[in-house]
Chain A
């Protein structure tokens, strides 16, 4: 080993506290980077393999009833590689041990041979057979939620008849990687399941022989999906199609892509924060070492070491710290990715979701770390190598101070001299001071960004499901129900209040933009299903016109007062030009609302409803459930409270895990910054502090000067960090907003307080560690040496 390298190792061991602190900050950044990249690659890989191996369709369309021969014509559309027709119906489920009814999406399996598209992956049991009555395969998520194994039975109400379903297989489908009812509802794995049943049995049960109501297409290579969808719409329109759509409108696909987007965002933002803090810390530490080793550098150069060798010596020191942190971070990142992938398996059902270690990202991490290390220390190292030996032999000239700017306006004579020392030290190094403040603020910001999602989620649920929607149950009907059905429902024992809604599929156009959405017709002045604006005020349902939720309005570029054209995709397909009367605040889905009466008139129909909202006497809930279970015509039931509860249970643990990671990372940043700043200040001021100790200042008084600076930084950093955290949260809310979900920008005071408390505590701990060194100050030698 070269002697210079030995010096390097010894210098490093002198700096172990600071080196570890910096390496940890780098490790945190790299860990998040490697974690998100590996999780991204694993999930993306899992998604692509599943889609490819199980032939996930490209185009989907639903209709009322299409005759069998239509399928052949669909298959002939230019650009279509494979077309498959099927039956899809929502039915009510009766599961033993569950009072409330559940909802099943029942999908047919072709008679002849295998499915061509959206093939099932059977994880347990076998595929249902067409000649055995009542055999079904069920989605794994639902099976797991109920502990269902092949051989178990559930009941369902099909066309008013109670039917036993015998589960023979547990299945995964590329179409339902995540199992959520569309339209911004909450995932409820217990009360919503996907069931697959043979085509023949479904035809018989739903009176659909020789017909299909859903078609899925695989496109040929290079086909234009837009053209295919137009052709498909033309063919299916006469049979009640509500318009074809591609994968981007498949809820499961959307959710997986949203998650991938989140991982990518995380892989960019987090390393940027952590590595810039690390660069700053490396800079102050290396600058200080070089200042301290001025005479050593001079001696080395006097003896003939080249500028390059001296420069490399210090760069090696930095790289050793940085790469140490990077390796630690990589291992930690892979470990976190393994955990995350495991956690994903609860939500995202792939046949194989195995952790893939993304070699590129590890390489990129190495590159990034090296770059940060070089950037952070280049200035200081360059200064050291360009210093002529003769000049370096002389001690650095004493620092010059001037009265600070503040002092010109503020009578600092009133302040104790010790405090004036602090203020002048801070102002003498404005860049270092500002960077320290920024570093500590970053810790606060990281905590806020990591914790605010819980606030946001609570607000979302409160806003959407308590303030706006005040029903207990939402029902969906198989066919538009007449007023007598509605009358009957509203008079069930236990039903306190009821409202109906008429939903239609429609395409809304504004200028050159258009979107296929559902329009809900609402009764005037609804009390259960209410619409609110972003100020939480009730939006009145107008007699004429349309209300858009803000996300839809954004996509269309429409504002209040604009005239949008609405093409209803059902019945006579009326076209309406409607004025946007209000924008509605909603955090899920893309929705539009109209007056129900206006919709009836446009469709030239009587007072029918496709759904109802019920408020129910909580003591009679079970009675209501019993009634609903046996009532024909009800396709699905959503129970608001249980959905919220199940959703919160599912994500609460994950949020807690993420939050503890965030706390750990923020503490790493806070300690990294505070500890290093304090150590540097101690090193720079040790002579002053020792002098003061000699002159009779006690440990506490001297510590006040040392830690006063850090205290001052922290004091400024807390509000700044809160602001930064809020801005970052805002950026994240914008960046992660999708058609499915928008996160409201809500940061509670408790979250600000929590972030500040954690950072204060981390500051305090690092302060105490450094403060203990003041006791060890060698008073005698500090006086002898000239710094």
Chain B
């Protein structure tokens, strides 16, 4: 049984938010062609917490960027519900990100000239059905730091503001690219707790990219990539709380 069949069989009854079919991505770097993705088939389901696990260069970030509408595949198709992202215009992709996707980045990417609260407001101002910015900050336990600028916050706090910013629009899917990559273990765990709480309380479909296998234990499903292909899809029978993770 190959990985795709296994995937299909195990999750027949759930609604797929994302469907990637035979996705390949080839970058041209000067004279050299780099095959970042080589025929990937994957589905992400409603409310689930997925970890995309892989070493550097495995193609996990490329996959996340394509799912998030930041990049387009060289071949294959990607569906968000019944929208074909591969057939979308750049402006449609912008609207897709605006309305449905929350991003969390490795280096937080907060706007340094805006306070924590204002960073969240930046998004709530353009969202269709946003939550109150303070409510979003409260969800990551940062309501007391609302008026601090990024330079006045620790790395972990900055990443939590970034999470608050990502979820304030009530996205349908939360995409996190190495959210703990720049943090120490202790702070990393606090951040992961925040992500997991959002997933549990709001039911937002959540995909976390990491090269850190320890994090995989907190996911519903773990999709491992290597060399641009899905290597393994594993369902955790039991999710372990972030606070109990160790690495």
Q: Give A residues with C-beta under 8 Å from B.
A: 397-403, 416-418, 420-421, 424-425, 428, 687-688, 691-699, 701, 779-780, 783-784, 786
Contact = CB atoms under 8 A, between A and B. Distances in A.
B234 interface: no
A418 B122 contact: yes
A513 B68 CA distance: 86
A425 B125 CA distance: 20
Interface string B164-208: 011001000000010000000000000000000000000000000
Contacts of B68: 694
B4 interface: no
B151 to A, nearest CB: 4
Contact of A400 (B91, B111, B115, B151): B151
Contacts of B125: 416-418
B71 interface: yes
B interface residue count range (under 10 / 10 to 19 / 20 to 34 / 35 or more): 35 or more
Contact of B113 (A401, A784, A786): A401
Contact of A424 (B97, B99, B109, B113): B113
A697 B65 contact: no
Nearest to B108: A691
Interface in B72-127: 91, 94-99, 101, 103, 105-107, 109, 111-115, 118-119, 121-123, 125-126
B149 interface: yes
30 contacts: A399-B112, A401-B113, A403-B115, A417-B119, A417-B122, A417-B125, A420-B113, A420-B114, A420-B118, A421-B113, A425-B113, A687-B109, A691-B109, A691-B111, A692-B111, A693-B94, A694-B97, A695-B97, A695-B103, A695-B166, A696-B101, A696-B169, A697-B126, A699-B94, A779-B70, A780-B61, A780-B70, A780-B71, A783-B177, A786-B107
Contact of B114 (A421, A687, A699): A421
B70 A694 contact: yes
A648 to B, nearest CB: 55
Contacts of B114: 401, 417, 420-421, 424
B23 to A, nearest CB: 16
Nearest to B150: A398
A701 B126 CA distance: 10
Contacts of B123: 695-696
Contacts of B112: 398-401, 688
B132 to A, nearest CB: 14
Given A417-B118, A701-B126, A428 B113 contact: yes
Contacts of B166: 695
A481 B149 CA distance: 90
Contacts of A698: 91, 94-95, 98
A202 to B, nearest CB: 85
A399 B97 contact: no
Q: Which 10 residue pairs across A and B have the least CB separation, nearest first?
A: A696-B98, A424-B113, A691-B109, A417-B122, A696-B97, A400-B151, A417-B121, A698-B94, A417-B118, A401-B113
Contact of B95 (A400, A687, A696, A783): A696
Contacts of B177: 783
A416 B126 CA distance: 10
A783 B113 contact: no
A132 to B, nearest CB: 90
Contacts of A399: 112-113, 151
B229 to A, nearest CB: 20
B5 to A, nearest CB: 32
A697 to B, nearest CB: 7
A784 B107 CA distance: 8
A745 to B, nearest CB: 43
Given A780-B65, A783-B105, A786-B107, A697 B151 contact: no
Given A400-B149, A695-B166, 20 more contacts: A398-B151, A400-B112, A401-B113, A417-B118, A424-B113, A425-B113, A688-B109, A688-B113, A691-B111, A692-B111, A694-B109, A695-B98, A695-B165, A696-B123, A696-B169, A698-B91, A698-B94, A701-B126, A783-B177, A784-B106
A684 to B, nearest CB: 10
B101 A688 contact: no
Contacts of B61: 780
- Looking at B101, B105, B165, the one whose CB has the most chain A CB atoms below 10 A away is B105
A450 B119 CA distance: 47
A698 B109 CA distance: 17
Nearest to A694: B103
Contacts of B152: 400
A453 to B, nearest CB: 45
B37 to A, nearest CB: 14
Nearest to B178: A784
Contacts of B96: 696
A688 B162 CA distance: 13
A783 B109 contact: yes
Contacts of A398: 112, 150-151
A688 B109 CA distance: 7
A398 B119 CA distance: 16
A580 to B, nearest CB: 64
A779 B61 CA distance: 13
A693 B91 CA distance: 11
Contacts of A421: 111, 113-114
Contacts of A397: 151
Which of the listed residues B111, B152, B166 has the most CB atoms from chain A within 10 Å of its own CB?
B111
A424 B111 CA distance: 11
A402 B148 CA distance: 9
B207 to A, nearest CB: 15
A401 B149 contact: yes
A688 B113 CA distance: 10
Contact of A696 (B94, B107, B113, B115): B94
A690 to B, nearest CB: 8
A687 B107 CA distance: 11
A697 B99 CA distance: 10
Contacts of A416: 125
A696 B99 CA distance: 7
Contacts of A780: 61, 65, 70-71
A395 to B, nearest CB: 10
B110 to A, nearest CB: 8
Given A421-B113, A696-B126, A401 B151 contact: yes
B149 A402 contact: yes
Contacts of B109: 687-688, 691, 694, 783
Given A417-B122, A701-B126, A688 B111 contact: yes
Contact of B98 (A697, A784, A786): A697
Interface in B134-169: 149-152, 165-166, 169
A688 B108 CA distance: 11
Nearest to A698: B94
Contacts of A779: 70
Nearest to B71: A780
A416 B122 CA distance: 7
Nearest to A412: B118
A186 B166 CA distance: 75
Contacts of A687: 109
A314 B5 CA distance: 60
A422 to B, nearest CB: 9
Nearest to A701: B126
Nearest to A687: B109
